[in-house]
Structure formats: structure tokens, C-alpha cells
Amino acid sequence: MPEPRQSRDQSGDPDARVYVISVAAELAGMHAQTLRNYDRLGLVTPHRTSGGGRRYSPRDVELLREVQRLSQDEGVNLAGIKRVIELTNQVEALQHRVAELSAEVAKLRSARRDLVPIPRSNALVVWKPRHQRDS
């Protein structure tokens, strides 16, 4: 039996677009037409080849499984699933941004440790522009 048409991605990248629609449908436990419908509804957006063929990533397959779980096990309708996906994407983006900002704060804190503290005094320094000092 011939092997399903699938590109080989040796990197293990979950975003690598390697599966044709028939393979992605089989991996997700769905019919290929269901994947087409989900694409039309914007639930899953596969990469398109120059010829218009859909290519799914391992992450897309996991999302398809989650769509199926929400629909069948939790009774969520497709509009609700789309909203869950949108909110999940927003949360992930915010978590990524928090991690970036936390790293930046840590970097600034470590740079601040390199500063040499200057002892405070009670002296007051008054500055006057040069033209006012001469009078």
C-alpha cells in the first residue's frame, strides 16, 4: 500500500505545514470535507500551496482535535468554538508578551546592579545661566 502523501519535516516544528488534507483529516479523525468546512468558517486556516492545495501542520491537527472535542464532548456550537479559539490565541499572545516584558525587566534589574551608588548629601546646588552670573 502506498504511503500517504506527506512532506517530511525532520525538525519536529509544530508549525511546519506538512500534511495534505486527507492525511490531516485521518490524523484528526474527521472527514476531509469537514476540514474544508472548518477552513471556510475560519476555525482552522491551513497554509495554501501555489496550486491552492491545503497543507496542515501538527499544530493544526491538534486544533482540529480540540474543535472536535469541544463540539462532541462539550456540546459547543461552531460559533462558540470560533470564539474559544480567538480567546485562546489572545491569551497565548498576552502570555508571550508578559514573558518578553519579564525578561526585559530582569535585564534592566541586572544592568542596574552595575551602577555605583553615590552618597547623598544635604548640599544644595543652584545653577544660574552664564549671562545671569556675570551681573
Domain containing residue 47: CATH number: 1.10.1660.10
Query: How many distinct structural domains can be found in the chain?
Result: 1
Q: What is the distance of C-alpha 12 from the center of its chain?
A: 17
Higher pLDDT, 5 or 30: 30
Q: Which domain holds residue 94?
A: 21-112
Please, which pLDDT band fits residue 12 given cuts at 50, 70 and 90?
confident
Q: What is the pLDDT of residue 121?
A: 76
User: Is 4 within a domain?
Assistant: no
Which has the closest alpha carbon to 58: 117, 116, 111, 8?
Answer: 8
Read off the C-alpha cell for 26.
Answer: 485521518
pLDDT tier, 111 (very low <50, low <70, confident <90, very high otherwise) = confident
Instruction: Report the distance separating Cα 133 and Cα 75, nearest Å.
Output: 82
Examine residue 45 and state whether it is found in any structural domain, yes or no: yes
All cell numbers assigned to 5: 502523501
Per-residue model confidence (pLDDT) at position 13: 80
In a domain, 28, yes or no: yes
Flag whether 133 is in a domain. Answer: no
Cα 50 to Cα 42: distance, rounded to the nearest angstrom: 20
pLDDT confidence band for 92 (50 / 70 / 90): very high
Assigned domain for 2 exists: no
Q: Which pLDDT belongs to residue 110? A: 81
